[in-house]
Structure 1
Amino acid sequence: MKKGEMINDIFALPEEQEDKVMSISDAVSRFISPGMKIHVAVTHNCSYAALHEIIRQFNGKNPEFTLIMRGIRDTVICLLRLGLVRKVITAFSGNVYPWYGPNRVAKEAYEKGGIELEEWTILTFPLRLMAAAMGLPFLPTRSLIGSDLARLNGTHFHPLDDPFGSERIGLVEALFPDISIVHGVAADRAGNTILTAPYSESVWGAKASKGGVIVTVEKLVSTSFIRAHSHVVKIPAYMVRAVSVEPFGAHPGGLWVQGVEGIEGYGEDYTFMSWFNDLCQDPAALDKWIEEWILKCPSFTSYLKKLGDDRLEELSAAAHPDYWHKKWAERGDNSQKKPGPTEIMVVTAARKLMEIIPKEGYRTILSGAGTANLAAWTAKYGLESAGYEAELMVELGYFGNSPRPGEPFLLNYGNFHTCKMMTDTLDTLGVFTCGAHNRCIGVLGGGQVDKRGNINSSWPAQGRYLTGSGGANDVATGAKETMVIMAQSRERYLEKVPFITAPGEKVRTLVSQWGIFEKPHGSEEFVLTAYIKDSPELTEDSAVRRIKENCGWELKVVPRPEAISPPKEEELSFLRLFDPNGYYLR
């Protein structure tokens, strides 16, 4: 052999030799056992294919799993319903579509004590996994300080004075799963795995897992393909135990391929999500669904066959940037409706945001879901038309997105292609919302609020559960200031919330369907600064009386509260572009 040929042979780039490809049935059978702490990674999707297989193999066997998962939603709920889980470590448990709210199955499981709940936030959850992945015992954070979440998590959270400064910080303990499950775009036979943004919690749980990673992917690719896309390879082969090929394996979630050629993305199945969440209200109907759609389906492929080719083709079409035009064409007609209380509240909040943001020099907006994101979206476009740019962010890793008409869902896949940056939670919540270049205003909803701005979205009363923090605590503690948007009643506007999910120190403005509450400089308590004149006959005395009667504390009022006009026709028309079917604006 000539020397040149020998050199070429020696330094040729080989395909990986190790072959970890197996069915998801074999992967679950080999690598998952009762009592495990199972981490299910949530990027912009998760592996429902693997979760279905776990249900099939462990149903009726009381495996007492600990489920470590950023959000408990959609068909993940089936693990709770079947009693496969003894403990849940999460930041959110509930429904997300068509609106955010409690899920009956999760709510009852936590309230009755059948499942132990350990509740974190969207930022502190991956920080615990990140600490473990880095081999550290803990990592510092500003989140949780001043909340009841800090108290509940006292075993794994330690507040202390900053040894290099004057502020109060907290330490979150490292969290080590026994096994991690990840859904990726593609992998080679050895397990080098491609994932695309937005990454949400990213893959810190996979890197922290003591037992390695079970990977499900849309497609098997060569190691040459992996090298050509090394910039989106997020899990190296040596961490992976099994690779299972499961097309549409994230359903009812979606897959954003972000230009990775040869692989087709798909949108989230919102129709399916709505249907499933309705089923959760009827235990018998849910049990029947689990039997028919999971237990009697021998594989995820058979589950997809039940969905049908037409449904899958429609979901593939939903990944196209122009799909929103179809959604818009199917919208309901709400053009002749008079403004309702929720619409009045959202327009009022958007106007106030457009006043605060340029005045304070804020450049980023991170909102919660529902009326909060609709107000933020409306304000973003209003500021843009006035020549002021404020970038929208979503905690999962969207930055600079421009929401499309027709779909009000905060996490709408149709907005992905409008982003100027796709990243992860550590950037959006850990840096852009509270870091060195923080110029962020938060916009949040919640279940209850008190006169100091403390928010409760966890436990509104003894033995009653809502949904958990999500990212609310992180936003309220990190952003320069926060606005809360919440419909007013005596049950929701309280002297003191029974549980502080997010502390109110930086919550400066509160907007209801009837007025605006603000904290004067140097004050920790809201006062009424403006009322909404929602009818020509409404007097100041009547408006203030209505607000006071529906407020749970002795409300103070400025001497001459501003009378705010109801939405103009053009404001209302623009707002309704985002929610034409009235999911949030009804």
Structure 2
Amino acid sequence: MSESKVLPLAEAVAKFVQPGAFLHLAYNGGRPNAAVAEIIRQFAGTDPGFRISAHGFVNTQHALVAAGLVKKLTVAYAGENFPSPRPNPALQRASADGSVEIENWSIWTLTARLMAQALGVPFLPVRSLAGSTMAQEHGGRDYHEVGPDGAVSPVVTALRPDLVLLHGLAADPAGNVILAPPYGEGAWGSLAARDGVLACVEEIVDDSFIRRHNSLPMIPAHAVRAVCRTPFGSHPYGLQPVGLEGVAGYIEDADFMDELRAAAADPEELARWTKKWITGVRDHDEFLARLGEERLRRLREVKPVVWPPSLATGPTVEERMTLTAARIVGDRITVAGHDVALAGIGFAHLAAWVAVARLRSAGSPVQLAAELGMSGFEPQPGDPYLFAGRNLPTCLQLTDVMTVLGRDMAGPGTSSIAVLGAGQIDAEGNINSTVGADGGFLVGSGGANDVASAADDVVAVVKHSPRRLVEAVPYVTVPGRRVSAIVTSEAVLERRDGRYEITSYVEVAGSDRDTTLRRIVERTGFPVSVAADCRAEPLPDAADLERLRAYDPQRVFLGSVPA
């Protein structure tokens, strides 16, 4: 019988987390937030100089930076992402004053770097980063462009963290861990780590349970140093045990995340929040007690929630933009016969959801995918979060980053279209979501660079403003060579003969065509012409408006309720 690796979380952190360590926060359907909180408790007031890598560095994890425990972040995305993307003020302050260094990657390239290390090879080919500022930053060190006979491919070097912090669904005492879907980076980070894995799980089970579920993705016991039972260990993020009996799931604690987002704006408020929820409690059990049984019970109630959409009023500016993007995307899928549509979070994913739902209701085989590992899912009404837990059971395949971004978006066997939001976009279609107008850090690439680097077509969605549509972006997060259309709140700009032209526009009450178009041109921060066949954008289809409002009934993305 294998030796038990079960330890209390506090004891495991004290034993395995050393000052100066390179810690990787594993990225799957569970987030290692309980482990992060325990590290803050044990190291608060010291200067351990941790290096942290993460595909998504989000919400409570920023308390590591605010506590002064991190000297460097190696990340694909860092900021808030529930329910919508936005910068985290605590991280922005730390970046601005130089107390933390941020090293930018994309989700697939960070996964590929871990894969290379786990496979024992020095580098791995990808289709990402070429033409981006990230390629310039890492060129000659961790990014190279190589190939035989004139064929050039980007390659990224192996990445080896010291210790992986992971939150899974279940593990046996020996350390065989069942991951939470979707599977994100899978086991690659865990198998790349020098010192293995500190695994938190919802439940500790016996060997026979693991064997009954041996088709589910796992971390092998030999990679695991400690197993810690931490119910709600992913909190405030949710966790869904799709296909696994005996483990209870829970939804996101939106109120908790809202409280932290508000506190992060002010250092003193954030310090009070950290004391209340992290350093002011003895351990994870006391943290759960402070949350309270009633709150935890509500989070366990994972039930479909549907609000009937009202169609008593016409579409708002945000709705018209989203539905215009849905029309463009739907038309392109129909013409090109794309197999897969993948969207970034925000107006972009709502547009993709509407477009694909309409096409599938008409018999199209096109499928939706999401970067974390959701393939062929059907968005359910009532929750606009891109990775909403209630969508997981609808997936044709619950898979991982390598499959969705590395195979389906980049491989020749799948025809794909990407729909992306943009903080800024320029005359070449380059997108920036990394550096703000003041030079401060925004959020980074996430999977945007990966999908735009390899998709057969890319449609960008952005509110119309000369601050957003600029001559040249200050940081190329996403190269624009495949961006064929830009859908804004005022117009559609399509690339023709290498330049963007206005091909349709949104009519403005009390303004004639020429006046409206002249204003659009003036409010575009790069030279743009009006196409000879430019026409007024038709009003959205009522069925599409109903679908859109059903997806976002609380108007998280869609703005104020129509008057």
Q: TM-score, normalised by structure 1?
A: 0.93
Aligned to 2:304: 324
For 1:106, which of 82, 87, 91 is the aligned residue? 91
Aligned to 1:530: 504
1:232-270 deviation line (CA, Å, top 9, x unaligned): 251111111111111111111222212322221222222
Alignment of 1:179-258 (within 5 A): 179-232=163-216, 234-258=218-242
Q: Does 1:583 align with 2:556?
A: yes
**3-state SS of paired residue (1:69):** strand
Q: Give the drift of 1:282.
A: 2.4
For 1:260, which of 237, 244, 254 is the aligned residue? 244
For 1:553, which of 518, 521, 526 is the aligned residue? 526
Check whether the contact 1:460–1:497 (CA below 8 A) recurs between aligned residues.
Answer: no
What is the distance in 1 between the residues matched to 2:29 and 2:530? 45
For 1:73, which of 55, 58, 61 is the aligned residue? 58
Q: Does 1:305 align with 2:281?
A: no
Alignment of 1:307-456 (within 5 A): 307-318=291-302, 323-325=303-305, 328-329=306-307, 335-456=311-432
**3-state SS of paired residue (2:6):** coil
Check whether the contact 2:146–2:155 (CA below 8 A) recurs between aligned residues.
Answer: no
1:378-405 deviation line (CA, Å, top 9, x unaligned): 1011112222221000000001111111
Q: Give the drift of 1:570.
A: 3.7
RMSD of aligned alpha carbons: 1.5
In structure 2, stretches of 5+ residues that fail to align are none
Change over 3 Å in CA distance of 1:288–1:334 after alignment to 2: farther
Q: Give the drift of 1:42.
A: 1.3
Q: Give the drift of 1:157.
A: 3.1
Check whether the contact 2:48–2:69 (CA below 8 A) recurs between aligned residues.
Answer: yes
For 1:283, which of 267, 276, 294 is the aligned residue? 267
Aligned to 2:116: 131
What is the distance in 2 between the residues matched to 1:309 and 1:156? 50
What is the distance in 2 between the residues matched to 1:261 and 1:374? 32
Check whether the contact 1:402–1:415 (CA below 8 A) recurs between aligned residues.
Answer: yes
Q: Which letter maps to 2:17?
A: I
Q: Give the drift of 1:483.
A: 0.1
**3-state SS of paired residue (1:250):** coil
What is the distance in 1 between the residues matched to 2:135 and 2:48? 30
Check whether the contact 2:358–2:544 (CA below 8 A) recurs between aligned residues.
Answer: no
For 1:565, which of 538, 541, 556 is the aligned residue? 538
Q: How many residues align?
A: 559
1:144-180 deviation line (CA, Å, top 9, x unaligned): 00000111122543332431563x3211111101111
Q: Which letter maps to 2:502?
A: L
Check whether the contact 2:508–2:516 (CA below 8 A) recurs between aligned residues.
Answer: no
Q: Give the drift of 1:345.
A: 0.5
Q: Which letter maps to 2:113?
A: R
Aligned to 2:77: 92
Q: Give the drift of 1:45.
A: 1.5
1:75-97 deviation line (CA, Å, top 9, x unaligned): 00100101100000110111112
Aligned to 1:3: none
Q: Give the drift of 1:335.
A: 4.1
Query: Is 255-264 or 511-520 further displaced after alignment?
Result: 255-264
What is the distance in 1 between the residues matched to 2:185 and 2:217? 16
1:470-509 deviation line (CA, Å, top 9, x unaligned): 1110011010010000001111101111111000000001
**3-state SS of paired residue (2:215):** helix
Query: Is 255-264 or 297-306 further displaced after alignment?
Result: 255-264
For 1:60, which of 45, 56, 71 is the aligned residue? 45
**3-state SS of paired residue (2:499):** coil
What is the distance in 2 between the residues matched to 1:574 and 1:21? 48
Check whether the contact 1:226–1:233 (CA below 8 A) recurs between aligned residues.
Answer: no
**3-state SS of paired residue (2:295):** helix
What is the distance in 2 between the residues matched to 1:312 and 1:72? 24
Q: Give the drift of 1:446.
A: 1.4
1:160-215 deviation line (CA, Å, top 9, x unaligned): 2431563x321111110111111111111111111132111112111011111111
1:297-319 deviation line (CA, Å, top 9, x unaligned): 1111111111111111121112x
Q: Give the drift of 1:571.
A: 3.1
**3-state SS of paired residue (1:91):** strand
Change over 3 Å in CA distance of 1:255–1:571 after alignment to 2: closer
Aligned to 1:543: 516
1:532-567 deviation line (CA, Å, top 9, x unaligned): 2243x4322012111111111121121231211232
In structure 1, stretches of 5+ residues that fail to align are 1-15
Change over 3 Å in CA distance of 1:436–1:571 after alignment to 2: closer
Q: Does 1:158 align with 2:143?
A: yes
Q: Give the drift of 1:112.
A: 2.4
Check whether the contact 1:192–1:233 (CA below 8 A) recurs between aligned residues.
Answer: no
What is the distance in 2 between the residues matched to 1:203 and 1:161? 27
**3-state SS of paired residue (2:377):** coil
1:298-352 deviation line (CA, Å, top 9, x unaligned): 111111111111111121112xxxx223xx24x7x75444422111101111111
Choose 1 or 2 for highest CA Rg: 1
Check whether the contact 2:186–2:217 (CA below 8 A) recurs between aligned residues.
Answer: no
Fraction of identical pairs, as percent: 39
1:334-374 deviation line (CA, Å, top 9, x unaligned): 54444221111011111111111110111210000010001
Query: Is 442-451 or 43-52 further displaced after alignment?
Result: 43-52
What is the distance in 1 between the residues matched to 2:144 and 2:500? 28
**3-state SS of paired residue (2:166):** strand
Q: Give the drift of 1:49.
A: 1.3
1:8-67 deviation line (CA, Å, top 9, x unaligned): xxxxxxxx3311111111111111111000011111112211111100000011100001
Check whether the contact 1:438–1:479 (CA below 8 A) recurs between aligned residues.
Answer: no
Q: Does 1:171 align with 2:155?
A: yes
**3-state SS of paired residue (1:519):** strand
Check whether the contact 1:534–1:565 (CA below 8 A) recurs between aligned residues.
Answer: no
